[in-house]
Structure 1
Amino acid sequence: MKGIKHPRNDETINPSGNASIYDVIDRVDSKRRNFVKGSVGVAALQAAGGLTLSGLVNTVQAGPVPAGLGFPGIGFESVPASVSVTSAPAAPAVADRITVPAGYTAELFVAWGDPIMPGAVPFASDASNTAAEQAKQFGAHNDGMAFFPFLGTDGRPSVDRGILAINNEYTPEEILTPAGIAGANLAAVRKSQAAHGVSILEARRRNGKWMVVKNSVYGRRLTANTKTRISGPAAGHALMKVNEYLISDTGSHATGRLTDGYTAYGTINNCANGVTPWGTYLTCEENFNGNFGSNTAVPAPTAGEVGKMFNRYGLTKDGFNYKWHTQDPRFDLNVNPNEANLFGWVVEVDPYDPKSVPVKRTALGRFKHESAQYVVDAQGHLAVYMGDDERNEYIYKFVSAGKFNPADRVANRNLLDDGVLYVAKFDADLSGQWLPLLPGTVGVDGVALRDNPNFAGANDAEVLAKILIKTRMAADAVGATMMDRPEWTGARPRIGGFNKIEIYCTLTNNNRRGSSATPSSNKADGTTAAGSARPAVDAANPREDNIYGHIIRWQETGDTVKATTFAWSLFLQAGDTKTTKPAKATNNYKGNIVADPYGSADFGAPDGLWFDPFGRLWVQTDQIGDASGDWKNIGANCMVCADPNTGMARRFLTGPNGCEVTGIAMCPDGKTMWVGVQHPGEDATPSNPELKSRWPANQWGVESDGVTSLPFGRPRSAVVVITKDDGGVIGS
């Protein structure tokens, strides 16, 4: 989700009523309006100067990026940034469509509201689908995803059939129902809850075309009301016991009892993801605090344990204006204060078993989980690397006590329940330390965590449970390094002669870095309000007013995930090479992205990050997405491909107006890629849902079956499927 709101630059300098290029294109037949294979795209023309000879000449880009150590090269040329070509009031700021390089084709795969399981009904463009109907449809605002292939007849992973597990992070409340948020009632709240969570669907390629198997037995929805199991050291603790409710369409009815601390209902704000080497899906609960609220004032930060936890995790009376608490007492912070403790976890899901119960793995800590990247070292030790997506939060890793057994899937089932959670400290000499979050760890105040009042308990088992429930506060206590919104983590494949354990993490932005003459930090006693610190620049976060973000990476000492030290470096600093924004002492806003021609792959606010199996690094962005303010030159959000050896980057994809590009998955052969587009046309109104975007209906016109018309009425988050026209590997 966006961390910084920018000016919209709404003022026009061209009041002409002449038709824009968008108007011309939209008059073309829908079949011809699909991507033109092997030709110059609309975004390329608009960025280079339009339909002129000079514009066509300016679309020429540099040659491919050559192969290197563990890296197979990049074979496509950058698509230009999608930026404004007209200032006419009726025109969108950026092209309201997906653009990919010449030689590639993108098609719509699945969109919000599409049926994905037996008994589901089609999407209603007037948003009249009920909560029960939404619970069988593809959820809203898709984010991280992963592809789980079936085995083919030859016993190898299929490249034509598998399961996609896709996160649904949050809901477009203004257009989710006909009346919008102003008409919030129980039915609206239940629909919002049904659109959160995870969508699990079967994907199959028939006659060369990918489609959703709409009546598949594997089709499944996890929502804000799905029963889950709590496991690991925090399971059963008093802070995990909440008011028990019977959840139905008529409300959440209190039984008068407490739960046992081993059961929870729902998974929400599912942002990025991970997988396990035994073939399960890890969905990460991020901005869960925004779904809670209260009809009365919440406890003050000084009001005991509950008030302190609310403050540190950003739980407030109004939340993010979901209004769930007005209809569902489960989400009222005063009625049911411990319910928030059941969220902010990594949740393990078995996509191959539709009857399996999702498991919240508490050993991995509780915070705003952004992603979960596993690594297995040569000795079989397993680690999971994670970011906490908020300004001034931390990077973590979990190391399991047991070893991964590739020959026995069942034996790995509880590997994520027992181990050590660490938090990172980045030192100025480019070395780093993993600080264990254990009862005996001594904090910066010289006091062991077991003796810290925040975590005190009857024994070390209870202390550890509290450390994991209050992970942010434990990281504060041991003096971890505050980072500029740590989001997705990715592990570089150890292939082609590259054999190091090298992890990357996107640091999306932090406009509070270096913003105060009297810097502040997260206090060691855990009392700092979420995201409120104003830290000075440091070696790992070297730019004040870091609006464009950067990517950091590190290598584990001794090539083992059990290492407690590492060496780190900055992979790149994102930026805008054309900016005229006045430079600051530590920030020229231009960044240092390596591209040829210079500036041809500018991007900012790196968010999604993923290595494909061949060693290419893919980075997705999350900024305002409409070419306004600081983003007038960078334009729409995009996805770039980069060489981890040299940093050389190419822009592969640009998104529609106001969207975030997020989520990526690939077939085992690398010849099919799925990419997510979230919240196109964000900030529309209930009276005019298509105020900012009409995507994807405006781009394709027909559904994936080639017959059914795509409904207009409101923009829809969606997943597109991308293939190379020559049948080759994506990126080659």
Structure 2
Amino acid sequence: MAKHDLDPNYLDPNYEPVVNHSDNTSFAHVLQARMQRRTLMKGSVGAALAGVMGMGLAGCSDSDNDDNGSAGGSAQSDTELGFKPVAVSNENRVVVPEGYSAQTFVPWGTPITGDYPEYRPDGTNTGADQENQVGMHHDGLHFFPIDQRAGGNSSTEGLLVMNHEYINQSALHANGPTKAVDNGGVRPVDEVRKEVAAHGVSVIHIKRDSNGTWDVVFGSPFNRRITGNTEMDIRGPARGYSKLVTVYSPTGTETRGTLNNCAMGPTPWGTYLTAEENWHGYFATADAQRPREYERHGVNDNSRYDWELADTDADEYMRFNVSTMGASAAEDYRNEANTYGYMVEIDPFTPESKPQKRTALGRFGHEGVIFAPAKEGEPVVCYSGDDSRFEYIYKFVSSKSYHAATAGGYLLDEGTLYVARFNDDGSGDWLALDLKDAEFASKVSAAQGTMVGDIQFDGFENQADVLVNTRLAADIAGATTMDRPEWGAIDPKTGDVYFTLTNNSNRGKEGYDDVNAANPIVENATGHIIRWTEAGSDHTATSFDWDIFVFAGEQGTETVVDGEAVITLDDTNIFNSPDGLWFDYNGRLWIQTDGSWAPPYENNMMLAANPVTREIKRFFVGPQNCEVTGVVTTPDVKTMFVNIQHPRGNWPDPSEDRPRDATVIVTRDDGGVVGA
């Protein structure tokens, strides 16, 4: 996600440096090659967009009159958008359609565990307090019905699990953060403790009363905070690998904490996977020669919050200094950053369980993960985007088969990780990142001794090395560079896979890919949404067909299929920088934005889309300067939870001086289905 904060030093591009300098084919180049007609993006951008042409997809119907919907037989009426669209807004409040209500819920600082320390509006809560309170910068979330493990689908009680991506230091502390440069080169340890604790994940037991009001179930054993210091196991092929060895875990099997948790994914067996996205900025190294594991991600001598400078010798903070200091890796934290960059599995129904870092899914800037529908006796399949400019989209296929009675996280420890290549003709291939795969092994052999981007490539020691260096492996495989692939979603009726490509301000600039007038989106400021159908509608397939679902942009922006505009954006649905993406249980596609706050878009928003007709309507607008991120409903689709991150000023409480990230509960006044 594009990151914004009240601190001007924390803005893109420093937050998400471009670290892919390979010469792999860009997605923009592929789209240009497939172009049959160009349409003009009307307005100030004035750029040429590619139409989405040619080959009709087996799962992607474009006909407004297709009563049966896409392949899979869904009825168009199931996904009708029955609400009146809302206008853009620059007000510091949440806007929802007529006939709907919105209320804030579980804002940052809400006590949920321990001795339930109350939130203090003056910022004087301690680090210990924050370890027992809801974290900061709410992001991806999911609602687990309280009776899910028993086969139920309660819509009145459950576990709301959410990520806390990063922090606003100015709001977190009473007088803002103490800077090391002004404090003898150190930071107060309790400030650092509080910042670490404000990251991670919250598990919150919630229940709706007879009046329809949702409350936290205080005292519930399910309430839990997972932070940047929580003990975790390392699982999968990288478990025990030498490049994960630290003084904390000489065997390379454990680590502490999860950070920069962006999107997520519920598993078919009822657990929660949280994504570690831009984890690279939390670490600092003084080593002149940095390992490729750090170079390809941007770990350098400047950490984001200076946690390694806490005025203590406690190693839970010293570990953020990943310099070589001891005689071996077992005597320092030179490998600590290699224990980050994974999907982390949390069992919300087992509070005493230890989170598991699933290394088979690869190490990169995970935005989230999305699972294909699990089928009895078949492999588990999931997808993940690497949210940075010119990075890739991945798919994991498990080696072992899914059986509902015994399924668990072990299914994510063995399998094949693939990376996507989008071909000029609208087809695509999944390229295995596995040394046992003959094609990949041949490419690895051919690349040895050469420069792969900025890295002198000397081979991979083993499959664990491939996964710790997933980005480098994808470079070598020949994957297609993308414009910041973020959230994914799978249509529950057709199986089609959708991904947001949020934006890429460097696309077409000097020194970057595809500097030419015919490029579909030069200096892509507004983004688009791609979708594909796996061959034979089989998610384990190694090939697919793709198209573009919609180009984002201002009024008049067209998405063209077979020479005809299937979507022309207007005042009811202009948007930029699509980010969050989710299909509800009735098949509506919800699109959230994290882009420009300038006219004509104003505040960030959430829209609903009919995947069959491509009708899109604006449903929700957030307060000023926020990102609208994370959405889920109860199983009956009558209560919607939406997260608001980094709001401005004193939202949601005008009586307080500090902004508080919060969840917004949206319901229909008549008690009906949200969006219908």
- The alignment's TM-score, normalised by the length of structure 1, stands at 0.75
**Structure 1 residues 493 and 578 mapped into 2: Cα distance closer, same or farther (>3 Å)?**
closer
How far residue 350 of structure 1 moved from its aligned partner, in angstroms, is: 0.4
Instruction: Give me the whole-angstrom Cα distance separating, in 2, the residues matched to 1:135 and 1:491.
Output: 35
Q: 1:168, 1:121 → 2: CA distance? A: 19
Match of 2:652 among 681, 696, 721: 696
1:279-678 equivalences in 2 (<5 Å): 279-294=270-285, 297-299=286-288, 303=289, 306-320=290-304, 322-327=305-310, 328-334=317-323, 335=325, 336-376=333-373, 378=375, 380-406=378-404, 408=405, 410-441=406-437, 447-448=443-444, 452=448, 454=457, 456=459, 462-494=461-493, 500-516=494-510, 519-520=511-512, 534-536=513-515, 542-577=520-555, 594=567, 598-625=570-597, 627=598, 632-678=599-645
Give 2:526's aligned amino acid. Answer: Y
Q: 1:479 to 1:215 in 2, by over 3 A?
A: same
Whole-angstrom distance in 1 between the partners of 2:446 and 2:109: 48
With over 3 angstroms needed to count, the CA separation of the structure-2 counterparts of 1:485 and 1:442, relative to structure 1, is: farther
Distance in 2 (alpha carbons) for counterparts of 1:431 and 1:204: 47
Moved more, 330-339 or 671-680: 330-339
Q: Does structure 2 conserve the Cα–Cα contact (< 8 Å) formed by 1:118 and 1:219?
A: no
Q: CA RMSD in A?
A: 2.9
Distance in structure 1 (CA, Å) of the matches to 2:65 and 2:172: 43
Alpha-carbon shift at residue 318 of structure 1 (Å): 1.5
The one-letter amino acid paired with 1:211 is: D
Aligned residue number for residue 27 of structure 1: none
Hey, what does 1:220 align to over in structure 2?
A: 224
Q: Which residue of structure 2 aligns with residue 277 of structure 1?
A: 268
In structure 1, C-alpha distance between the alignment counterparts of 2:130 and 2:149, rounded to whole Å: 35
Within 2, Cα distance between the matches of 1:369 and 1:363?
A: 13
User: Residue 455 of structure 1: CA displacement?
Assistant: 6.9
The alignment-based identity, stated in percent, is 42
The alpha-carbon distance between structure 1 residues 121 and 728, as it changes in their structure 2 partners (threshold 3 A), is same
- Structure 2: which amino acid aligns with 1:609? L
The CA deviation at 1:118 is 4.0
Any conservation in 2 of the 1:557–1:565 contact (CA below 8 Å)?
A: yes
Tell me how far apart the structure 1 counterparts of residues 148 and 672 of structure 2 sit (CA, whole Å).
20
Query: Aligned residue for 2:122?
Result: 126
| Deviation, structure 1 residue 68 | 6.3
8 Å CA contact 1:78–1:600 kept in 2: the answer is yes
Q: Are the counterparts in 2 of residues 595 and 648 from structure 1 also a CA contact under 8 Å?
A: no
Q: CA deviation at 1:155?
A: 6.4
Alignment partners' CA distance in 2, 1:103 and 1:66: 30
Report the AA paired with residue 718 of structure 1: A
* Larger RCO, structure (CA 8 Å, separation 6 or more): 2
Does the residue aligned with 1:399 lie in a helix, a strand or coil? Answer: strand
User: Does the residue aligned with 1:447 lie in a helix, a strand or coil?
Assistant: helix
The 5-angstrom pairing of residues 144-163 of structure 1 reads 144-151=140-147, 156-163=152-159
For residue 380 of structure 1, report the CA deviation from its aligned partner: 2.6
C-alpha deviations, 1:555-575, integer Å up to 9, x for none? 000121221000000111100
Alpha-carbon distance in structure 1 between the residues aligned to 2:496 and 2:149:
35
Residue type at the aligned position of 1:351: P
Match of 1:729 in 2: 673
- After TM superposition, give the deviation of residue 448 of structure 1 in Å: 3.2
1:209 to 195, 210, 213: 213
Contact 1:231 1:361 in 2 (8 A): yes
Q: Give 5+ residue unaligned stretches, structure 2.
A: 9-63, 180-186, 311-316, 326-332, 450-456
Does the CA-based 8 Å contact 2:374-2:402 persist in structure 1? no
The answer on whether the counterparts of 1:487 and 1:505 sit within 8 Å (CA) in structure 2 is yes
SS of match in other structure, 2:567: coil
How far apart are 1:443 and its partner, in Å?
Answer: 6.9
Decide whether the 8 Å contact of 1:593 with 1:602 is kept in 2: no
Query: Partner letter of residue 2 of structure 1?
Result: A
Are the structure 2 counterparts of residues 194 and 642 from structure 1 closer, same or farther at C-alpha, using a change threshold of 3 Å? same
Q: Secondary structure at 2:576's aligned position in 1?
A: coil
The one-letter code sitting in structure 2 at the alignment partner of 1:554 is W
Query: CA 1:65/1:240 → structure 2, altered by over 3 Å: closer, same or farther?
Result: farther
Show structure 1 runs of 5+ residues with no match: 9-63, 83-93, 245-257, 495-499, 521-533, 682-692, 699-710
The answer (yes or no) to whether the contact 2:578–2:592 under 8 Å persists in 1 is yes
Distance 1:492 1:153, change over 3 A: closer
SS at 2:154 equivalent: strand
Q: How many angstroms does 1:413 deviate by?
A: 3.4
Judge which range, 641-650 or 64-73, deviates more. Answer: 64-73
Distance change >3 Å, CA 152–CA 570, structure 1 → 2: closer
Report the secondary structure of 1:129's partner residue.
Answer: coil
Distance (whole Å) between structure 2 residues aligned to residue 67 and residue 640 of structure 1: 23
What CA deviation, in whole Å up to 9, does each residue of 1:367-400 have, x standing for no partner?
Answer: 0000100013656321110000000000000000
Separation in structure 1 between the aligned mates of residue 478 and residue 351 of structure 2, nearest angstrom: 42
Go from structure 1 to structure 2 and tell me whether the alpha carbon gap of 1:538 and 1:233 turns closer, same or farther (over 3 Å shift).
farther
Deviates more, 1:369-378 or 1:136-145: 369-378
Counterpart CA distance in 2 for 1:162 and 1:551 is 32
